Every structure is written in C-alpha cells, then in structure tokens.
Structure 1
C-alpha cells in the first residue's frame, strides 16, 4: 500500500469514528446520572398558583386565596373543587425522569414540547420557585413526552395526561349552582315577557292561579320547570360583577321559588341538635303540639318556608348561553340555552289542557 492509500485509509477510518460519535451523542443515554422526581423536591402543599395553557392560546389560572382555598381569580374568585387541584399537583409531583428520550432542542417541536408547540403548558408557582412543565405528544399507553422549561432533555413520563389539566373553567368547579328538593317546592312565581304565572301546591297537587273560566290546567306542563329548579347547573362561572350587556338590571325573567322543609330537631335526628343552623329571619315556621294516648305531649314536625329568587339576563354575545344569578349566590353564571328557554318561553296557553287532550280524556272508558 503506497503512502497515498495509507492516508486515505486513515481519513476513512476517522470519518467512521466521527460518524459513530455524532450518532451516539444524538441518542438518549440509558445511564442517568441521577434519577428521581422530574421537578425535584416539589411539595404540592407549597404551591399557591397554577396556570394551564393550551397551544391555541386558551388558558386557566387557579390561585390559593388568603383563606387557603383554591379559587378562579379570573372569575371573581369562584371556588374550585379542592380535590381536583390536589390530584393534579400529586400527579405532577409524581413525574419521574428515569426515561430520557431526547437531549437536543431540535426534537422539541416533533415531540410537541417546544415553547410554541405543546399539548399543555403548566406553570407551578410557590413562594420561592416557579416551574414550567410542557406536556407533549403521546409516547404510548398512559405515556407522554414531557419537558421542564430551561432544560432541553425530554422524558417519557406516566401518570399525567392533557385531559388531567383542562383549561375549561367548568372542569374545575361544582357545576350544581342552584338546587332545592323538588318535593319541598310549594309555590313558584314566574315573570317573563309573556306574563306573570303563579303556581301553588295544595294537598300535593299543583294548581295554576291564572286560569280563566272553562280552562283546565295541565300539571305536566311545569315538569320541566320543576326539574330546572331542583337541579340547575352552570356552564361557566362569570364572577361577582355584572356586565351591563347582560341586562341584569332589567332581567328577561324572574323566578321566585318557595320551599317548605322540615326543621331537624333533636327528636327527629335522634341526637343533640345544639349545633344546628338557626332558622333565618326571612323564613316562616309553623309547629304545634299534639297529645298522645299516654297523655304526653308529642311535638308535631316543624316546618320552615324559604323563598329564593332567580334572575335571567340576556344571552352571552356570540353564544347561546344565558346569564343567571340566584339570591343564594354572589356569583353570576352562564346557563345552557334550554335552561333559559324554560323560564323565558312559558306562556299561558302552554299551561292548559288542549281541546284535543280534553276530548281524548273524556273518551277514555
């Protein structure tokens, strides 16, 4: 082999070695210098604020208030379900760095953990620290590509998925906004553009006080109304300050509900009732005593009547939801269109037994 061939052979060998080195450097190392929690010594109880963002610009902020309660500061400090936040922080603290997938920034976009391309961006704040976590593309069953801001390393983690960190406000709150026991409702007054409607329950039968001569009330016509009042759910909490566009100073519909419920006493509960909440001043109560066969006086059940008011505003601009507020809550909320329509679309004629229904009833043997 002449000198030229020797030089070429050496250069070729160096190229092979260099290629091997470059390839090896681009691959994740199975040997971690130190493995453990991805966010180090993060303690869930130290966290006081969380910001969750989607790549489309939508975001959600959850904050710990002065009373150590989780709230939505952008919705008038509407209360958050504590267990949802606790579960999220526990999942984040449990993420491990024992499965390194990539170490180069060039892989971030492909794995959806880049600064401008991600499934979720989660900011976790404490008094002394501020961490940012990127959740990326799926890496298999219950596995997700994950990166901590400020570090190019991408890990495959389990235990936290994008659906565990939604940005919809309703995903973090108790959506049951107003509720009363259906069987305890004894009177309903509803005002809307079609008129004023009053219903009273007498001897467990609903009666409509607005009947004219010859008209017959159809009790089934208020089933939807009773259903809405017994379990009314919000779609979005709005806060405590009203927007003029909502029209709450001149609501489209006003519903007044009177509920008659039994007051729990020591006799009815079988225990000490000293800590029971007192009857509020705006309620009315009735009770009495009867004498038993043995001559001892036995207390009749005591009942209290409480009145609640719901006010329905306008539909949200660009949406079909209505704005509503209850006398039992300082918060305005959005409710689904079918809820608002139940209050707004009630008419006198819609409460009556039609002539066809009446004829059918008379023909039934």
Structure 2
C-alpha cells in the first residue's frame, strides 16, 4: 500500500469518526430529564408565535386569560386546541441528547435559518424562549432551544401538530343557519338577481319562468347548503380594506329565516378573490369580522346563472340509422 493510499484511508476514517461523534447519542448531563424550556407551566404562557419552513407564521396571545389572534383584531382562538400543544412544549425534556455541535443543526433542520418549525414562547413572568423543531426520527422530533447548540429528541410531539396558519387554532365555523329555518333566499351576482321562497308545503319556488322552462329546486337546496354552513380559512379583522372588494362584491346572498314566529335576515357578501390563497373575502351581517373563505366553497354563489336553476330539457333520442336498401 502506497503512502498516498494510507493518507487517504486515514482521512476517510477520521471523517467517519467525526460523523459518528456528531450524531451518536451523548451521555446525558447531570441535569438530564429537566424541562428544556425551564420550569414554566402551560398556563404561564401568554404568547405563542409559530413559523414554518414555507414562510408562513401565526401569533397567538392571551392578554386577558382568553386566547386571541392579535393580527386579526383579537379574533377568538380556541383554547382547547392551544392548551394541549403548550403542555407538550413545556413537557419536552433534555433527556435524549443527539448532537452538540452547530454543524449538525442544518442536517437535523433545527438551524436558525433552516427549520421545520420555529416557536417563540413568552410567559407572564417575562421569559422569552425560542424552540426549533426539525426532522422526525422514529416517532420523535429533533428539537433545539434557541440559546443552545445541543439537539435533543422529543417524543409525543410532531411538527404537523404545530401549524403556522390561523385556521388551525380557531373554530372555523363562520355562518351557521338551520336549513329548515330559511324561508327566502336572494342571490345577486354578475349574472343577475335570483329570488326564491318556500311555499306553505316547504318547497322552493321561483317566479318569471318562461314557457317551456322547469324550475329545479334542488339547485336552491345545494346553494343554501353552502351558505348556511360556511367555514372560513382564516379571519382578517374588523375593519374593511379597499383590497377586500366590498364596494363591488362578486356576490351577495340574503337569507330570511323564521323560527317560533320570529324572523331574522342574514346577508353574506362575497368580495374580491385572492388568487394566491385561492380564496375570497367574505363578510356576514351576523359577524363583526371579515374573513377568507375557500374559493370552492363560494364558487357557486359567484358563478351561478339563471339557467343553473332550471332543469335541462330531456335530450332528444338520436334518429334511427337509415335501413340499407337491399341490392337487386
């Protein structure tokens, strides 16, 4: 074996030793088993900001013992969705040490600028901590405290539970109306205005049908179902913005509901489309908040035509093929 070969083999062995040393589970420190975030309780956390690897982020705050979305004019957040995550975060222990060098952060996706999730935690006592969640490994996830270089494995936690979109932390129900309570519906869009009412038997009716036209009440039922159980993708806030397109809406739906001899009118306005989110801005008269709703959820309201409420005439049968004339 030549001297050059010996040097190359020695260099390769050294690289393997360094690689194994970087990722081999370390002997736990004397404080192994201590909470990575320190001695804090879930109820002491008053702010949680989550960033993902796609550039999205969401901030949750608890200014007065109620979780809200500050960037959406304090839209109520769902504590039942937040508290379990806080419990898991404060429960992360420094027991399973995986790596100690900064060189491993990028590979394990817990680097300052290369992570799967970055979670910023603030407490009522003034403690600010940043936690990086990275790649998964055998049902666990790599985690690193921002102020340290040590990387640990945390079990019972996954990055998909900690989403950086507002819709994951709220009740997304925006408009809820019992279908049987609705007695009248009016839809206005670029194709016209369409009016429908229920008769004494509860069947949907319309007016101004031309000769030969047949109304399809099932189309009204379908449209009503999309309005009366409308969900948002995220709240925007209480203040109208020019970009919301409310001055020239794409559709306006008015529902008149009756229950126990009391009537209530609901108006749903569909504003501008946001192509990047594949969503429309919407505003219900029953809510102080403007929201985004998925494009597919309101497409029928925006695009419905008069012909869309009619039954198509039956397709005439194809003429029989001509009978060939026998040759003489």
Quick check: TM above 0.5?
Answer: yes
CA distance change for structure 1 residues 212 and 42 in 2, over 3 Å: closer, same or farther? same
Deviation at 1:211, TM superposition (A): 2.5
Residues 232 and 291 in structure 2, CA contact (< 8 A), matched pair in contact too? yes
Corresponding residue to 2:296 among 338, 351, 354: 338
CA distance change for structure 1 residues 27 and 199 in 2, over 3 Å: closer, same or farther? closer
Residues 47 and 59 in structure 2, CA contact (< 8 A), matched pair in contact too? yes
CA distance change for structure 1 residues 46 and 112 in 2, over 3 Å: closer, same or farther? same
Is 1:151 equivalent to 2:152 in the alignment? no
**Matched residue, 1:186:** 183
RMSD value over aligned CA atoms?
A: 2.3
Deviation at 1:215, TM superposition (A): 3.4
Deviation at 1:28, TM superposition (A): 4.8
Structure 2: state its 5+ residue gaps.
1-16, 318-328
Deviation at 1:56, TM superposition (A): 3.4
TM-score (normalised: structure 2): 0.83
TM-score (normalised: structure 1): 0.75
Is 1:99 equivalent to 2:96 in the alignment? yes
**Matched residue, 2:135:** 137
- 1:356 is paired with a residue whose SS is coil
Residues 133 and 148 in structure 1, CA contact (< 8 A), matched pair in contact too? yes
Corresponding residue to 2:273 among 298, 310, 315: 315
CA distance change for structure 1 residues 100 and 217 in 2, over 3 Å: closer, same or farther? same
Deviation at 1:339, TM superposition (A): 2.9
CA distance change for structure 1 residues 310 and 31 in 2, over 3 Å: closer, same or farther? closer
Instruction: Give 1:154-169 correspondences, 5 Å limit.
Output: 154-169=151-166
**Matched residue, 2:6:** none
CA distance change for structure 1 residues 331 and 26 in 2, over 3 Å: closer, same or farther? closer
Residues 103 and 154 in structure 1, CA contact (< 8 A), matched pair in contact too? yes
CA distance change for structure 1 residues 25 and 215 in 2, over 3 Å: closer, same or farther? closer
Deviation at 1:44, TM superposition (A): 0.9
Residues 198 and 210 in structure 1, CA contact (< 8 A), matched pair in contact too? no
The number of residues matched between the two structures is 296
Cα distance per residue 1:209-237 (max 9 Å; x no partner):
33245533111221321211221111232
Larger Rg: 1
- 1:355 is paired with a residue whose SS is coil
Corresponding residue to 2:254 among 238, 252, 256: 256
CA distance change for structure 1 residues 24 and 234 in 2, over 3 Å: closer, same or farther? closer
Is 1:304 equivalent to 2:259 in the alignment? no
Residues 37 and 96 in structure 1, CA contact (< 8 A), matched pair in contact too? yes
- 1:41 is paired with a residue whose SS is coil
Residues 100 and 150 in structure 2, CA contact (< 8 A), matched pair in contact too? yes
**Matched residue, 1:218:** 216
Deviation at 1:241, TM superposition (A): 2.0
- 2:314 is paired with a residue whose SS is helix
Residues 26 and 104 in structure 1, CA contact (< 8 A), matched pair in contact too? no
**Matched residue, 2:203:** 205
- Counterparts of 1:55 and 1:320, CA distance in 2: 20
- 2:94 is paired with a residue whose SS is coil
Deviation at 1:90, TM superposition (A): 0.5
- Counterparts of 2:22 and 2:246, CA distance in 1: 64
Corresponding residue to 1:72 among 65, 69, 72: 69
Residues 28 and 97 in structure 2, CA contact (< 8 A), matched pair in contact too? no
Cα distance per residue 1:136-194 (max 9 Å; x no partner):
12221x21111111112111111221111111221112221111111111111111222
Residues 28 and 95 in structure 2, CA contact (< 8 A), matched pair in contact too? no
- 1:223 is paired with a residue whose SS is helix
- Counterparts of 2:24 and 2:119, CA distance in 1: 27
**Matched residue, 1:32:** 29
- Counterparts of 1:304 and 1:133, CA distance in 2: 53
- Counterparts of 1:218 and 1:349, CA distance in 2: 10
